Amino acid sequence: MHTRRRGSSGSDRPATDEPPEWSDVESDAIEARVVELAEAGHDPSVIGMKLRDEGVKGTPIPNVKLATGKKVTQILEDNDASPELPEDLRNLMERAIGLREHVDENGQDHSNKRALQNTESKIRRLVNYYRGDELDEDFKYSYDNAVELLE
């Protein structure tokens, strides 16, 4: 968005409507594992990778949505284990806090000042997107507010 670089290409998942035959774990066990990983403090993307790599009882789960019919975030919402902030917004806020602390110590670092401006711009755009659904109607981004939320 804020750079001249092109996006990185990656492999696409195979187009299929049903889970693979070799991954025959019940959806209740998958949901229990998802909630367990969330309570351990993992984000939804990390939960998906752990299920892909470690699996449930040794059986890998390549795609949670195909196996259970629900996405990881939907499973977390159903079990009241969803995080306070959406994962993408949280990651951007962590980056902005780190950049702000760096710029405060190194005032002449103009490239990181620009990076901070771009990151905070992305945060404001995401806040507008999530406002009303996953965030309060009167939520405003500020550095102090972000530090308070992430502690």
Distance CA 106, CA 122 (A): 23
Give pTM, 2 decimals: 0.82
pLDDT of residue 11: 77
Q: The tokens 């806090």 sit on which residue?
A: 97
Low-confidence ranges of the chain (pLDDT < 70): none
Q: The tokens 């502690």 sit on which residue?
A: 151
